[in-house]
Each structure stands twice: as C-alpha cells, then as structure tokens.
Amino acid sequence: MKRHTSPPRASLLTIALLAVCANSGVQAQSTFNNTGMHVGISAGESKSKFDNGATAQSLVGVGVTAGALTEDERGNAYKAFIGVPLSPNWAVEAGYFDLGRFGFDAATSPSGTVTGTTRIQGLNLDLVGTLPITERWSLLGRVGAAYAETKGSFSGTGASGVSALPSNKRDTHYKYGFGTEYAFTPALTMRLEGERYHVNDAIGQRENVDLISVGLVYRFGSPAQSVRTAYVPPAAQPVYRPEPVVAQAPVATPPPAPVIVLAPVVMPAPVATQAPAPAPVPKPWVKVTLQADSLFGFDQDSLQADGKQALDKMLQELKDVNVDAVQVTGHTDRLGSAAYNAKLSTRRADAVRNYLVQVGGMPANLVTATGVGSAQPETSPNDCKGMKASQALITCLRVDRRVEVQVLGSQPQR
C-alpha cells in the first residue's frame, strides 16, 4: 500500500511559481488583468497511479492469490470552473471535475479472475497565480484542495469469491498544477495545464491521478477591443483642426497728387493692370495627435475602420495645403519591455504612413515614419504611479499610447 508522507517536489515547484507571480513586476503589457469574473471548461486525458495489484489482492478470499494484471490506467477527463479575481495576478477558482474511469483485470490462483472499475469526480477550490511573459502569453500555477468521490465496482469468477462488490470513498486532499495560457482576445483565452490530484482509491488507499488538459476561459467585463491588461476602449475620434491662416493686411496706397490744368488736356485712358497672384502663406509645423487605441486593435498594427476615418478627415483638411514634409511618430506607454514597445510603435507609425501615401495620395518621398516606444511620455511618474498593469494604471497611461502626425506646408491666401 502506497503512502505519501510529504508533498512531491513538483508541488514545491508550483508553490515557488506562485511566489514569483506575487513578487515580480509585470514584464509586458498583458490582457490577463483579471478585471472581472471568468468561467472556463477544459478536457483532456487523465492517468491513474493506482496500485491495482494491492487492490485485487485485498478483494480475493483467503488462500487465493491475485496474479497477472491487465490495467486500464488512462481515462477521458474534463472540468468546469468559475473564477473571481483577487488582484491583476491572483484569482480564486472553484469548479467541478470528472477524472474519468479506470479499471483492471487480474487472474487468480486457484483459477479465477477479479475485475474492477473506478470513477473519480468531485469539487475543487484553487488559488491561481499568473505571470505575464508577453502581451498575450502567461505562465500560471495553482494549489488547492479537492473533495473527491471515488466509486468502485468489483466482481470475480472462480475461486476469488468476489461478487458485484461496490465501493464508495469520499475524502478531501490537496491538488496542484502548472501551465500556460494565451489570449486570443481580451475576453477569450486558451489554457494548457498539467495537474495532480491526490485522492483515495476504491479501497481507501491514497493515490495520485494526473490530468493534462486544454481549455477555454471567458472573462466577463473585458473591453471589447482590449491589457496581459490590458486594453482601454477608444475615446472619441480625434478631430484635426488646422491652424488658422492669417492673411497679410493690404498695404495702404497714398491718394494721387492733384493735377493742375493750365489748358484743356485730354487725359489718356488708364491702362488696366492685372493684380499679381497672392503669394502662398507659409505655415509652421502642424501636429495632430491620434490616440493609438482608436487607430488599432489590441496588439495590432493594422488600421481599424475608426482609425481610417480619422485619417480620412485629416486628409480632407489638408487637401488645400501644399505639403512640404510629413513626419509620423509612434509612441507607447511604459508598460512592457523597451524592445517590444519600440517595435510596436514603429509598426504602427509605418501603418499610418502607408495609409497617407497609398490612400491619401501623398508623395512617398515626403512622408517619413519612426517609432520611439515609451521614450517620450505625455505623463510623468507622479501622474500615474505603479508598475503593475492594473486597470487604473492602464487608463491613466492612455495618453502615452499615441501616433503623432506633423505636417509642414503652405496654404494659398484666400
């Protein structure tokens, strides 16, 4: 009979992972911000670690020996759960699990057989910690308790003396696991997990059942267009307002000097002269700030419909301007690694430049694009305190996530 006197090494690793989640700063902007309750369902394969030989021997009569075994140690399992966030990186999950059916056949001596089937199901309550790695990908670990019911059914032939003997064991033991999850959207996440359940088998021995599962998690209250965590809904569409053109005041001309006539004089008819065309009025750089959240989807560099409308409006305002140069600059907030933010801001600046050239018809040699990541924030550390990607911090840093379009040109005098 197997007994576990201390938690296995894997459970200690799980506890260590949870401690890292609690003490580490967020390394990337993440959708896993746990802003609302979530539900999920997973399915996979379970494997029992039962000592079926000891179980078979305990069932046969005196003087009978259980011999060679044929074991079915794998089952089809599933679980359903509901979670409540405690913080951006911690949540409590409660659920129902069914670890599947297992069985064995044993030959006995004298001649006979013993057959057994076992099914395990129950309820669990876990503490789950997540550690964001990128905007979409996180590691996770869990520890908790499982209340499991193990139902067994046994029968025998020949000398075994077993006749349709049922068994029903209930108990509460620890469980633990670790895995990873990937966010398709701020609301929908896929999980891959490995878990170990410590349960009683059908004759009361403490045994282990391992579960490998894949599942989906739906988070309520997540923004429709997403933050690891992590997304703020777009504000109203920015309005481009060009600087007013100040026309030059007309130069006053002195009245003509009086003509003294000594004799009748026939004055020649004045010759009409064409007024020269007004010279273009030079304009300084005009800067338009566009919120990145209204231009792009979560972790995307393709323009959304709302973003295209904002750029179309800006192009309409510039149709009468003689453009000399356009500079597009992408910015991000400080959440996330510097390398990732630099690449994301550059991709988004390039997307705006391409739209101005390909759709707006601006000459490609006049439009340049660059990304500066989080190097030029609009906020200060005192404005938005903290480093963990809480919803409040993400909202505060919204003004840092932007694309700036600076236009240098001239507008004819009207």
Q: CATH number, domain at 169?
A: 2.40.160.20
pLDDT score, position 53: 74
Q: Does position 91 have pLDDT exceeding 90, yes or no?
A: yes
pLDDT score, position 287: 77
Q: Is 188 in the same domain as 320?
A: no
Mean pLDDT calculated for residue range 52-61: 72
Q: Is 287 in the same domain as 204?
A: no
The residue that leads in pLDDT, 259 or 412, is: 412
Q: Are 314 and 388 in contact (CB under 8 A)?
A: no
Q: Is 45 in the same domain as 123?
A: yes
What is the share, in percent, of the chain residues with pLDDT greater than 90? Answer: 35
Q: Is 164 in the same domain as 43?
A: yes
pLDDT score, position 410: 80
Could you say which of 219, 235, 255 is where a domain stops? 219
Q: Does position 364 have pLDDT exceeding 70, yes or no?
A: yes
Q: Is 126 in the same domain as 202?
A: yes
Is the residue at 273 inside a domain?
no
pLDDT score, position 12: 54
Q: Is 214 in the same domain as 354?
A: no
Number of domains in the chain: 2
pLDDT in tens, 271-303: 555 656 555 555 555 778 888 777 887 667 888
Q: Is 107 in the same domain as 211?
A: yes
pLDDT score, position 331: 92
Judged on CB neighbours under 10 Å (0-12, 13-18, 19+), 79 is buried
pLDDT score, position 63: 63
Could you say which of 204, 219, 234 is where a domain stops? 219
Domain harbouring 336, CATH code: 3.30.1330.60
Residue 208's pLDDT band, with cuts at 50, 70 and 90, is very high
Is the residue at 188 inside a domain?
yes
Q: Are 328 and 348 in contact (CB under 8 A)?
A: no
Is the residue at 31 inside a domain?
yes
pLDDT in tens, 123-174: 999 999 999 998 889 999 999 999 999 998 887 776 666 655 677 889 999 9
Is the residue at 366 inside a domain?
yes
pLDDT score, position 245: 45
Could you say which of 219, 244, 269 is where a domain stops? 219
Is the residue at 251 inside a domain?
no
Is the residue at 144 inside a domain?
yes
Domain extent, residue 361, equals 281-411
Helix, coil or strand: residue 375: coil
Q: Is 34 in the same domain as 174?
A: yes
| Among 16-30, 206-220, 267-281, the range of highest mean pLDDT | 206-220
Q: What pTM did the predictor assign?
A: 0.50
Sign of CA dihedral 177, 182, 183, 189: negative
Sign of CA dihedral 366, 371, 375, 381: positive
pLDDT score, position 146: 96
Is the residue at 140 inside a domain?
yes
pLDDT score, position 252: 52
Q: Is 191 in the same domain as 44?
A: yes
